[in-house]
Structure 1
């Protein structure tokens, strides 16, 4: 029976925790609603229903929908901002939870959201690795992995700031199935140097993260061939359970001012991907991989005008010349095409809208080592158990990295 179920019918519950996780989540739902032709109140603007994977109908109506999401925080300040935004009628009251711990109210809200699902497949968790809510996130992760949802996949949108809760990072790397870090400083630099935003604000950072996640979840919402379920993220990108940290790279990043140029043309598939081949910075976390060695890689293309042969031998051969693939893991290189065109925010978009985009997801040990170092270098960290756990992980990543470099005779 499962083979008859379309991927975008398999429901996912989004948990947006803390001010950072909620702001990114709210920004992402703005973009998703545009992609699926919903107005600010959740009413359909055409005859096409949004996918069950991300949206549920309101009172069994066929015309009004809401996100499958909960917004959770220890105080109500950010929640109040979202509830008074343009999308205030897009969410239901029970989707907002103010709690300092995994209270019975929060657990009941999660259960109720899952009970209305037919083919529930897992969670997407948006959260910060710093701030007051990080302890709440750890408690929530432990609950999800130790209770009735232990077999469900957890994919995280993990916001990395200037400081990190070491205990939370240790728990995250132990309990989540796939961790996709989004580093504020690195994304701010992308806004500044790639999108020509002189002084990037959190709203600019959140917008760019939302564009990234729009592409990352495209196959979950529209029928695709590459990463159509949460479980496929693990199969394609995670060769061994500890190697679960995935870097995201989005292209093209073109400043908004070019959209008004009458001579502007969207780049070809090959030209769009050139920064992946060169040393240009496209990553959403600090890229410290001088020898460009990856364990697995997935290119997710989207756009109506993408021709498969454009992704053919020349692009793939040139990428394989500049990127080394480990022969120790079976996952390797994979491509997918989704023919739904990109969209942009209705108000003050930061990027030029192009007819195609590509997201590259890579698994590389250098990113894992970098994240461990960030957590270990926190001066306020005094939790020996958490530090020891992260130190053990770092040594595992470093040894794995060393063995692969020896295979390639890289010193």
Structure 2
């Protein structure tokens, strides 16, 4: 038989499963097997699979206007920008389609500002083990091991510091430095959380030196960490913020936000065929209005506490290393590089499978829907225990 993916360019190793439908926290494959999904598209499906709030927004907007072109205004674009600005405290918004696009836009904006106000300063300090996207520039900005050798020559202008090490940031600052780019939780590195004292000291340092602070909230924003934005945990106000993943709740949508005084693009400097299209903006507005309510976020924090306590019990019972995270972005650290085996064992469970992610060989990552139920958290923990036993961790 021909391979199931004979016509797809190979970009990753996928199991031989074809999913046919999804509702809430559950996916069903073409054979009828159900899986409890604790990945949700890498924190994309903020409201789970096929939520009514998104299908309704898509249907309603698709019958009115898809996109008039980015050369013109549309009402959902304006409404989403206004809502994001109000929630985030940053006055200006650019809508895009992916996190990499938003992050690249953030670097462009910082460099444009540096060319005008810092004598052409253009270098951006980012962090070892960071992940900012898969364009060439964002791969260079990222600190994922080996990425600097994949597609040489890589774009320059990105110095590297170490998360939670302010002295390493100081050493990386030079006369051409214009900004520091930070993930408050390094998801791809294994849910490594920035320390509050470090973040506050970094904000003070960048303000003292007149550098921009770019916070990449592609994975942590829009309720994932229990606030509308993760930076609220730290009591800071960034100069630039990027969003994607959960912003669209499953559709391609991203945003770049900045303080008014950094709104320095000239017409033609930045754009994109689908930027601010009415269809995706309508979905984003529906998601933000649902997720960023105080009562909704209270439930996110309740389920996060439940998941954390449950994972701590798993650590004790199975002799694992520990669990960590912020909100509903959490990791379980294993004593050996058996995470891929646990992922496979969880997927193979019968009659109900479990979908997990292994960003590192010794780490499991959990990114459930933000409206996951208490019962689904309990069921997921039970299935996890079975998978750990089957994988002989």
How does the TM-score come out when normalised to structure 1? 0.27
Q: Point out which structure has higher relative CO (alpha carbons under 8 A, 6+ apart).
A: 2
